[in-house]
Each structure stands twice: as structure tokens, then as C-alpha cells.
Structure 1
Amino acid sequence: MNRPTIFGLIAFSSMAIPIFVTAQTHKDHNIHSSMSSNIASKINASTSSSPLTEPGQGAFAAISEVVKVLSADDNTDWSKVNLTNLRDHLIDMDILIRNATATQTTLENGVSTKVTGDAETLATAKRMIPAHGNELRSDKSWVVDFTVNANDVILTVTSEDPKVALRIKALGFYGLMASQDHHREHHYIIAKGGDAHSGH
């Protein structure tokens, strides 16, 4: 499969990669806070004196951020790190935002979107929409359904709450794909060798 060599800005990929985990106990919280502070101090110490803040275009900046965090973490298992997988996932995000044709139907209580495209775009949609759809389901204020067909993928998001339904309509397909603040954590998991699409 051919991959584009220039990613451009990835519209729904934040560049920061979180490294903090929610603590189960006060003791665990202190341990994680100490580790995070240590990593953060190492990251700050390695930062150049350049007045610029972005190390490159979108995907390159995201990978650069991950490298900085991994390098500052003494517990990084370098035998599992896979930045190529992260790069491939960032390309998927770029393909979906740039190349997918999203035909949206406005429903009384939400939206239904049929996503089509060329072979590469459709393959990307079939990977990303079900994975992200499962993440959207963590928000119990709406109902999420998706169907993967031979020539398209359909994502439907609805709510019986009129205010939520209005928000769904305003977000549309691309806004919904950018919803749920999980992308940064997900990218960090991929970089450390995790699955790119299990619990996107």
C-alpha cells in the first residue's frame, strides 16, 4: 500500500503525549507524581534554546514529542518501542481527514454519515471508524452505531436529549472523530509497542 510522504497537519491529533496515569491510591498517586515530575524535568532539560516550539510538520512533531518522552522515562522498554506503527497510524488519521468523502444525513436526533473513498481511504476508514466508534461509546449521552460494508463505512450517532442531538449535528463526522480526549494516550501506547486499533 502506498503511503503519502507529506502528512500535513493532522487536524484531530494533538501533539502532546500524556504520560500520567490515574492513581488507584494516595500512595500510588505520589509514586506516579514523582515519576512524572522526574520525566518532565528531564524533558525540560533536553529542550533546545530555540524560540520555536514545533519541531516540524504535524506527524513529525507528534513523533518527536513521543521520542522526547520515551527518552526521559527510565522505565521505557526499548525492545518494544515501535515508532513505525505510530507513523502508520498518523498517516491513517491524515488520509481519513484529507481523502475520505463523508456524506452526512441529518436525523431528527443526530447524524448518520456514509464514508467512501479510493481503496486506500476505504481501508483506512474500515480500520479507524470502528475503533473510534468504540471510544465514542464511552460517552453515555449518545448512542453510537457503525456498519462496515464492502464499499463504505456508516457511522451513526444519536441522542434522545435535544441538546446533545444539537451538539452531534454541529460536530458532524469529523468533529465526532476528533471527540473523546484519548488520541494522545493512544499514540503513546502505540509508540510503546501497543496495538494501533484495539481500543483506539
Structure 2
Amino acid sequence: MKLIPLALIALTLPGFALAQDEMDTNHARHFIHQDTPQLNEGGQSAFAAIQEITAALMANPATNWSTVDVEALRRHLIDMDNVTLRADVATEEIDRGARFVVTSTDLGTVASIRAMVPAHVATMNGVEGWAMQAEEVEGGAIMTVTGSDTARIRGLGFIGLMTVGMHHQAHHMALASGQNPHDH
């Protein structure tokens, strides 16, 4: 007799599991449709930047899809990540500024340094009254920045100086649109 109730329970478990799955699915649908705050973060910064540019391209009826190259933006964001997180930076205080020796032993990071540092200097030279120079060295590049506000240059340091100017968003759109903003 004791076997019959256990057998009945065993036979009803698959049905219970299916009902539970259906409840979970309905709960997920309900949650998605609830009034929730506007969510903006794509979950990872490079992904979010690509998502933002892709949405802008898709919203623009004048987008020339034959020139769009979102992969170029992805490669640039890899360079940004390498320079930001993987490059070694040695800072030397010089008269009216600083000299930043940016290097790596990783060949991919070296390539990223050599792509980004000269391009940034070409874009930002003269901005904020700063004189900027770049040169390639073994394992990377040197960025030299001088100006009247020495404390600010030194306080920002290499990575702070790389972030100055709201040109990055336009730069990203140009890359994804198939333009090469590094050609001058």
C-alpha cells in the first residue's frame, strides 16, 4: 500500500515540473512588462558603446549602409581597452608639463598604443593651450604635453589627458560609418 502513494507522487512530478516552468515563464513575461525604470547600460562598456552607435545608425534614415563598418569601431574599442588597462606608463616631470612613456611587452597592446597615442596627439594638440607631441619608441610611444597649467597636466596624467575632449563619441560614429578619422 505504501508503494501506491509514492508511485502517484512520482507520476505527478513531471506535470508539477511543467507547471512550475510555465509559472516561471509567465513570471518572467510579467516582469519584463512591468513598469521599470529606463535601462541604459548594455552590460559591458565596449558593448554599450557599440550598441549606442548601432542604435544611432539605425535611427538615421540617411545612414549609408554600404559604408557602415561597426567592426572598425569594435577594433578601436579593443585598442582603447588595451591602452587604458594593459599599457605601462612611466611619467617624467619636465619643464611646464610631463612626458609619458607608454609601453608594453604584449604585441597587441604595443600596436594599440601606437594607434592611439599619435592619433590623440594629432586631434588634441593645441586644445586647452597644450602643446602635444608623440613619437614611437621600442615597445610603444611617448606622449609629451606642455602648457601653462603644469599642475593640471601632471594631475590628469597620461590616461586623464587621453580622455580630455568630447571628441570620442563623434570619433566612434565616424569609425562605424566607414570613415577614417585618423586620416588628416
TM-score, length-normalised on structure 1? 0.70
Question: What SS does the aligned partner of 2:132 have?
Answer: strand
- Flag the structure with larger Rg: 2
Partner of 2:9: none
Partner of 1:170: 155
| Aligned residues of 1:144 and 1:157 also touching (Cα < 8 A) | yes
Q: Which amino acid aligns with 1:176?
A: L
Q: 5 Å matches for 1:141-160?
A: 141-159=129-147
| Aligned residues of 2:126 and 2:132 also touching (Cα < 8 A) | no
Partner of 1:54: 41
User: Could you tell which deviates more after superposition, 184-193 or 137-146?
Assistant: 137-146
Is 1:123 equivalent to 2:120 in the alignment? no
Is 1:78 equivalent to 2:65 in the alignment? yes
Query: Partners in 2 of 1:193 and 1:141 — Cα distance?
Result: 31
After TM superposition, give the deviation of residue 99 of structure 1 in Å.
0.4
Partner of 1:67: 54
Q: Which amino acid aligns with 1:156?
A: T
**Offset from partner CA, 1:78-125 (integer Å, 9 cap, x none):** 111111000000111001101000000112311001111021111111
Partner of 1:20: none
Unaligned runs of 5+ in 2: 1-34
TM-score, length-normalised on structure 2? 0.76
Unaligned runs of 5+ in 1: 1-48
Is 1:134 equivalent to 2:134 in the alignment? no
Question: What SS does the aligned partner of 1:180 have?
Answer: coil
Which of residues 183, 187, 192 in structure 1 aligns to 2:172?
187
After TM superposition, give the deviation of residue 158 of structure 1 in Å.
0.7
Q: 5 Å matches for 1:80-99?
A: 80-99=67-86
Aligned residues: 148
Q: Which amino acid aligns with 1:137?
A: N
**Offset from partner CA, 1:108-160 (integer Å, 9 cap, x none):** 3110011110211111111110000111214161111111123331110011x
After TM superposition, give the deviation of residue 61 of structure 1 in Å.
0.7
Query: Partners in 1 of 2:46 and 2:130 — Cα distance?
Result: 31
Question: Structure with the greater relative contact order (CA < 8 A, sep ≥ 6): 1 or 2?
Answer: 1
| Aligned residues of 1:114 and 1:154 also touching (Cα < 8 A) | yes
Give RMSD over aligned pairs: 1.5
Identity over the aligned pairs, expressed in percent? 38
**Offset from partner CA, 1:40-82 (integer Å, 9 cap, x none):** xxxxxxxxx7522212210111111111111111100011111
